[in-house]
Structure 1
């Protein structure tokens, strides 16, 4: 995954890919499992489940766009309960975490993000949830938890995000030199908000 300006663009890119390729991906998975031991009835059931999950997600998305948090939570929780193994459940939990965080409910947002981390079969979605959870822990001054989530990042397109979180933890603990080094490396690896990271780096002497 390439670097995007904001994390919301990352989410939208994943959703766009899934919207364009999801049916083919589901079809391939269902066909593969059918070869292992499923019959035509089971294949049809899985196809209908996937289509129902998609339709329910559209209904949830409409409620979310309306700004009605209570209705969005009701529809979102119903979707997650009914289709918890689907990618749409992951999207729903991410959206609900964002909405609940914006409403000031950090604890509920934390639970949502942890659920996505624990249940994501898609690596990109799982790492996005991990980044957001680490930042939330940082915001809640849970420095040990934030540091643990950001520790030992893989050398991939998410590495810069985790390094920037490590830098924030070190800065909060008074390690300005360590923070400066991590901010610099984060910029080199790529982050979703390079302007902000560069500003913090310059404040530490570049």
Structure 2
């Protein structure tokens, strides 16, 4: 609403009344929507916090059962976390735990399926980056370097850039693509701080494929 600076007080008052007559409904609707959004956001935040607490409690039960070597209880609780709390970090922890058990039993296919299923049930970018990385490592370990490279290309790595680049380098080595491997390892080094322990490992990998 724009008021004429030369209008009298009475005209100003009338202009305000007119503006309210024309806009009151829209203002009230806006206020109501704002309040609903505020309380809706609070409700959603509380819901998410409750889910995190529930998932944390269930994960703690898994750790307790693991310490007591209660295999069946571990498996059942972990499966429940994966199915009901896949959108939380604890759901991811359970996926990694179960996949590790699958690999220990020699069932890499089951482990890969767990990772793929987890990707279908979480939209959290950070969690997805971890899952893609673990899946690519599994594929490479099972002799599928091309699939590993394809998997690593599925998502922007963010803070996992160095780990992604190193694994790309490992895959290129398996494929005999040494120039690409060197480039990937160099990228991995660039993304590490000067005091990072993995710098030594990456330097060794580069030395192993150095040009004659």
TM range (shorter): 0.5 to 0.7
Q: Which of 99, 117, 130 is residue 132 of structure 2 equivalent to?
A: 130
1:94 Cα shift?
A: 2.1
5+ residue gaps, structure 1: 1-30
The 5 A counterparts of 1:1-206 are 34-35=39-40, 49-151=51-153, 154=156, 156-190=158-192, 193-205=198-210
- Corresponding position of 2:33: none
1:130 Cα shift?
A: 0.9
Structure with higher Rg: it is 2
Deviation digits for residues 128-171 of structure 1 (CA, Å, limit 9, x no counterpart): 11111111111111222101112276373212222112212211
Query: 1:151 touches 1:162 (CA, 8 Å); kept in 2?
Result: no
CA distance in 2, matches of 1:161, 1:174: 20
CA distance 1:205–1:109, shift in 2 (3 Å): same
Identify which range, 147-156 or 136-145, moves more after superposition: 147-156
Query: 1:153 touches 1:162 (CA, 8 Å); kept in 2?
Result: no
CA distance in 2, matches of 1:101, 1:34: 46
Superposition TM-score, scaled by structure 1 size: 0.67
CA distance in 2, matches of 1:128, 1:174: 26
CA distance in 2, matches of 1:57, 1:35: 28
Count, aligned residues: 173
Q: Which has the higher contact order (CA 8 A, sep 6+)?
A: 1
Structure 1 SS opposite 2:159: coil
CA distance in 1, matches of 2:80, 2:163: 32
Structure 2 SS opposite 1:157: helix
Deviation digits for residues 159-200 of structure 1 (CA, Å, limit 9, x no counterpart): 222211221221111112221221122111238833332211
